[in-house]
Structure formats: structure tokens, C-alpha cells
Structure 1
Amino acid sequence: MATTKWVIDPTHSEIGFKVKHMMFTNVSGKFDTYEASVTTEDDTFTNANIEFSADINSIDTRNADRDGHLKSADFFDAENYPKLTFKASSLSKVEDGNYEIAGDLTIKGVTKFVKLPAEFSGLMTDPWGNTKAGLNIYGKINRKDWGLNWNSALETGGVLVGEEVKLEIELQLLKQ
């Protein structure tokens, strides 16, 4: 069976995350530079081969000081680990439109197997005749599982940065 190659449409995609700050509000961030290699055997994406990477130096939380701290050895250590990567081992249909993506997530040189909920929106042809596919991945990971341990205790109790990271990934893929 012939395989189909897909690329990310960067103008309609976002690799985002949220982390609790001071234990009561979320700080949002995203990676501005990323790439993926996606190949499929059919239009269902269930046998998709997905490899993804994001450039740590492209992290953007709308605060230059915080971005610099996240790039430092306290967190991602961008100098020694310039990319985070994900290699999917499966994309399984749970029920209509709802999927689970599983694979190896590598951050700061540490690889862990993760399973994340996903939505596959199916295929659509845009006004210019291009075939597009929508894949939304969300879920939670614990940053400490990848050695992102830095924190600061608050005088009022608790910590400055939450351990749980909520992932909010919106991908629009373009058929090649």
C-alpha cells in the first residue's frame, strides 16, 4: 500500500502548554519553531508514523526573563538539549473522533513513554484544493519526570511553579 506524507501547516498549528504559577493561576507558553514527519497508509491515521521535535530556544511565554529561565539548566538546559522530541508508537481510535496517541517523549535527555488523549478531525479540502487533516493532542505530564525540578517555596506555603504541565497541541497537517 502506498504511503502518504504530511507536513505541519505552521500558520494553523500551535504547540502550547500551561503550568500553574503560585498554585492558583496558569501561565501559558508555546514553542514557535517545530517540525514533524508524518506518514500514513490510509486516511484514518491509525497506522500513522509520527515524529515531532520542538526547538527549546523558541519557547515563548510572553516574558523574556521567564523564557530565559526556562532555557537555562534549571529547566530545559537548551545549551545541552536544544530539542524536545516525540516519536509515536501508536495512534488508536477510542471512539468516534477520539483517539489516544502513545509514544516516547524525550526532554532534557530523558525519554519516557506517554499516552495522551487526541482528537482526529478527519480530512478536509481547503479552498485552494489542498487536503488537510486536523489532529489535536492534549493531556498532562509531570515535568519532574523529565528532570525539570527547579522550584521555589512561597512564604504563604506551596511552591512557585506547578509540577503538572497541561499540553495543548493543535496540528493542521497538509498532504504532500
Structure 2
Amino acid sequence: MATTKWAIDPTHSEIGFKVKHMMFTNVSGKFGTYDATISAEEDDFTKSSIEFSANIDSINTNNSDRDNHLKSADFFDAENHPKLTFVSSSFTNIDDENYELAGDLTIHGVTKPVKLATEFSGLMKDPWGNTKVGLNIEGKINRKDWGLNWNSALETGGVLVGEEVKLNIELQLLKQ
């Protein structure tokens, strides 16, 4: 079988996350600069290889003070760990549209296995004849598992930053 290469269409993709702030609301953020190497046998993503990286310096939560704190040694330590990476180990079919993407996620110099629920929207041609694939990837991780431990206690009890981080990744891939 022939190997097909895919690229992320950055104008139709978003690498996002949410984390609880003060125990009752979510703060959303995203990474603006990222790259991936994706290949599959023909158009079969169950036989694929995915390597992804995001630049920590591109984090954006719509608050520059918070973004700078996230880049600091209290959290991501962008100076010493400028990228987060993901390398897939499997892409398993659950049913017609749902898959499980498994692999190793490296953040802050720590690598841990993760499993992410993935909705595969199928193959489609855009109006210009390009073949595209849509993936919606979701999952949850505990930031402390990757050494992102900083927090601050609240006077009313609880903490400023939640431990659970919800990942919400929308990808539109372009067949090369």
C-alpha cells in the first residue's frame, strides 16, 4: 500500500484546552504555533503515524500576564522546554465515526501515555479539489502528572488553578 502524507490546515484547526479557575469557571487557551508529521497507509488512519509539536511560547489565553506566567518556570518553563510533543502509538476504530488515539505526550520534559477520544469526520473534497479530513480530539489530563504543580490557595478554600486540563483539538488535515 502507498503511504499518504497529511498536513494540518492551520486556518481551519485549533489546539485548545480548558482548566478550572478559582474552582468554578473555565479559562480557555490555545497554542498558535504548531506542526505535525502525519502519514497513513492510503486513507486508513488506523494504520497511521502522527507526530505533533506545539511551541509553548505561542500559548494564548487572552491575558498576557497569565500567558507569561504559564511560560515561566512555575508552569511550562518554556525557556528549558520550548515545545510539547505527541507521538502516536495507535489509532483504533471504535465505531463508524469514533476512534481512540493513543500515544506519548511530552510536556515540561515528562513523557506519559495518553488516550484521546477522536471523532473522525471522514474524507471530503473542498471546492478547490483538495482532499481533507476532519478530526475532533478530546481528552483530559492531570497537569501535575507532567510536573506543572504551581497553585495558590484561596481564602474561601480550594485552589486558584484546577489540576484537570480538558483538551479540545479541532484538526482539518490536507492530503499532500
TM-score normalized with structure 1 length: 0.99
Residues 130-145 of structure 1 correspond to what in structure 2 (within 5 A)? 130-145=130-145
Q: Does 1:36 align with 2:32?
A: no
Q: Deviations over 1:41-95 (max 9, x none)?
A: 0323111100000000000000000000000000000000000000000000111
Residues 73-152 of structure 1 correspond to what in structure 2 (within 5 A)? 73-152=73-152
Who is 1:155 aligned against?
155
Give structure 1 regions of 4+ aligned residues with deviation exceeding 6 angstroms. none
Question: Percent identity at matched positions?
Answer: 80
Q: For the residues of structure 2 that align with 1:136 and 1:44, how far apart are their CA atoms?
A: 17
Q: Deviations over 1:121-152 (max 9, x none)?
A: 11000000000001111010000000000000
**1:167 Cα deviation from its structure 2 partner:** 0.2
Q: For the residues of structure 1 that align with 2:173 and 2:116, how far apart are their CA atoms?
A: 19
On the 8 A contact 1:49/1:88 being kept in 2, the answer is yes
Gaps of 5+ in 1: none
1:103 alignment partner AA: G
1:44 alignment partner AA: D
Q: For the residues of structure 2 that align with 1:44 and 1:162, how far apart are their CA atoms?
A: 37
2:33 alignment partner AA: T
Residues 56-67 of structure 1 correspond to what in structure 2 (within 5 A)? 56-67=56-67
Q: Between Structure 1 and Structure 2, how many residues are aligned?
A: 176
Backbone CA RMSD of aligned residues = 0.5
Gaps of 5+ in 2: none
TM-score normalized with structure 2 length: 0.99
Could you say what secondary structure the match of 1:127 adopts? coil
